Copies of this chain bind each other. A is one copy, B any other.
Amino acid sequence: MLLFIILLLILSDTKKQSLRGSIMINKNHQASNCNDCNCKTQIFKNLGSIELDLINNSRFQVDYKAGEIIFKQGTPSPYFVCITSGLAKIYIEGYGKNLILALVKPVDYIFGPGIYVDNRHYYSASAVEDCTACLVDASVFKKLIRENPDFAEDFLKRVSLQSIFNFEQIVSLTQKQMPGRIADVIFYLSEKIYCKNPFELSISRQDLADLSGMSKESAIRILKEFKEEGILTVAGNKMEILNIKQLRQISETG
């Protein structure tokens, strides 16, 4: 039995090495240590240097090409994923369709609820743009949550905000008609993701549809209507909101 465990450890360690091998080539590589990384100011602001070292020591950095899957719904995984560059989406694979729960940009982490339940992912994640991510052992995270109340409280606040966002999303998706839902998605993209007004979409029309819970064709049609009414301009992946007020009203009246 003991032999078996040792064998496992050796195996996992060599596996780790080989993974590192491919990582060293990485050009987008940002910081060799969490203490120097800009991620810490936002997510880990309540952690001390020793605590950051703990995270640093259990961390892998991985690159993903656009379209690649970061993790898949249903698979077990004792990691949490911190996006350090690029753009990822987290989505639920439903019955034929996908529903995008959120886009994740730097610096934010993807911390699935499964970590505190059964170490399984309850949604999938994939790279929308080329991405760099740090994978950190969830047990380290949980340990820090137990030991550092400020960190725990900040985490709870993040979880709460996420939860509030989900509620708004549920209402939007279940109670608004298509124009209202598209309006919400456009605001989300402009205000929360790309953070500017004439912005360039890096997501596909299908993603747009998966964000607003409708078919791709319907999403395109609504966009066209908005364009015809002078609410926005769409040219390929360039988009600009021209009449924020009217778009806001469409969002609110459903």
CB distance B170 to A169 under 8 Å? yes
CA distance A167 to B252 in the complex (A): 24
Chain B residues near A114 (CB, 8 Å)? 160, 164
Chain B residues near A152 (CB, 8 Å)? 145-146, 152
With A146-B152, A157-B117: A123-B167 Cβ-Cβ less than 8 Å = yes
Q: Which A32-71 residues have C-beta < 8 A from chain B?
A: none
Q: Which A164-178 residues have C-beta < 8 A from chain B?
A: 164, 166-167, 169-171, 173-176
Chain B nearest CB, measured from A176 CB (Å): 7
Secondary structure at the A interface, as helix, strand, loop or mixed, is helix
Answer yes or no: A254 CB below 8 A from chain B CBs: yes
Size of chain A's interface in residues, with CB distance under 8 A?
41
7 A-B Cβ contacts within 8 A? A99-B175, A116-B160, A122-B164, A145-B153, A156-B156, A163-B166, A173-B174
Interface string of A141-157 (1 = CB under 8 A from B): 01001110100110011
CB distance A163 to B160 under 8 Å? no
CA distance A167 to B100 in the complex (A): 11
Chain B residues near A115 (CB, 8 Å)? 160
Chain B nearest CB, measured from A114 CB (Å): 7
Answer yes or no: A18 CB below 8 A from chain B CBs: no
Answer yes or no: A213 CB below 8 A from chain B CBs: yes
With A146-B153, A160-B116: A97-B170 Cβ-Cβ less than 8 Å = no
CA distance A174 to B153 in the complex (A): 32
Q: Considering the complex, give the chain B residue whose CB is closest to the CB of A92.
A: B171
Interface string of A65-109 (1 = CB under 8 A from B): 000000000000000000000000000101111010100000000
Chain B residues near A116 (CB, 8 Å)? 153, 156-157, 159-160
Answer yes or no: A161 CB below 8 A from chain B CBs: yes
CB distance B92 to A160 under 8 Å? no
Contact of A170 among B92, B113, B147, B160 (CB under 8 A): B92
Q: Considering the complex, give the chain B residue whose CB is closest to the CB of A169.
A: B170
